Amino acid sequence: MNDFKIWGWDKKPRTMLRYIKAGDIFCFKLDNQNYCFGRIVIKFIVGHIAEIFDIISNSPDLSEAKIRNAHRMIDPVILDSYLLFDRKFEGDWRIIGHQQNYSPNNMQNVYFTYGIEPWFKKVDISQNETLISEKEAESLPRVSPLNDYHIKQLMKNFNIKLNVH
């Protein structure tokens, strides 16, 4: 079993980029009343790949039990971790805990794409690359780090309903 350490919202308002690592649990303000949670999966080419949990709360407090029972709200994304956690240019995102010995799971079909015709490539979370067609590239998210605005737009695009805990 993996051990969780949750230190909460107020302990670390800012985390420098070099200290962000796989297994970090984060929280961000969705709006004036609600908070969302997620986990850093792995450091990537640009930013960090993260999963956003299906936990929305009116408090930034989170228990180990909630993390263990959480599912992904949206497909894994590449976060602009420098802007969100280190520089804090937009939104309010904070590392609030860490899962010791975290190992990514259910990531075998997670790919991102980059390139131009005829050299489109898809890349997995381990940064293994494969040449692909333009059609396949159009179906995958770009290797591009997302900011606060983009994450909230993605959540809206997936018709996320606020089920506040």
Here the tokens at position 141 are: 């998210």
What is d(CA 15, CA 82) in angstroms, rounded to the nearest whole number?
A: 9
What is d(CA 20, CA 29) in angstroms, rounded to the nearest whole number?
A: 19
**At 3, phi and psi to the nearest 5?**
-95, 140
Which residues are bridge partners to 36 per DSSP?
A: 28, 56
pLDDT of 163 > 70? The answer is no
Which residues are bridge partners to 147 per DSSP?
A: none
The b/e string for 81-117 (b: 16+ C-beta within 10 A; e otherwise) is bbbbbbebeeeebbbbbbbeebebeebeebbbbbbee
What mean pLDDT comes out for the span 132-153?
95
Domain count, the chain: 1
What is the per-residue pLDDT across 50-70, written as a single tens digit (0 to 9) for each? Answer: 999 999 999 999 999 999 999
What is d(CA 103, CA 92) in angstroms, rounded to the nearest whole number?
A: 26
In a domain, 113, yes or no: no
pLDDT of 128 > 70? The answer is yes
* Enclosing domain of residue 8: 4-106+144-157
In a domain, 127, yes or no: no
Query: To the nearest whole number, what is the mean pLDDT of the chain?
Result: 91
What is d(CA 53, CA 122) in angstroms, rounded to the nearest whole number?
A: 25
What is d(CA 11, CA 147) in angstroms, rounded to the nearest whole number?
A: 23
**At 129, phi and psi to the nearest 5?**
-110, 145
What is the per-residue pLDDT across 12-50, written as a single tens digit (0 to 9) for each? Answer: 899 999 999 999 999 999 989 999 999 999 999 899 999
pLDDT band at 155 (very low <50, low <70, confident <90, very high): confident
In a domain, 57, yes or no: yes
In a domain, 75, yes or no: yes
In a domain, 98, yes or no: yes
What mean pLDDT comes out for the span 101-105?
91
For the chain, what's the residue count? 165
In a domain, 162, yes or no: no
In a domain, 128, yes or no: no
In a domain, 50, yes or no: yes
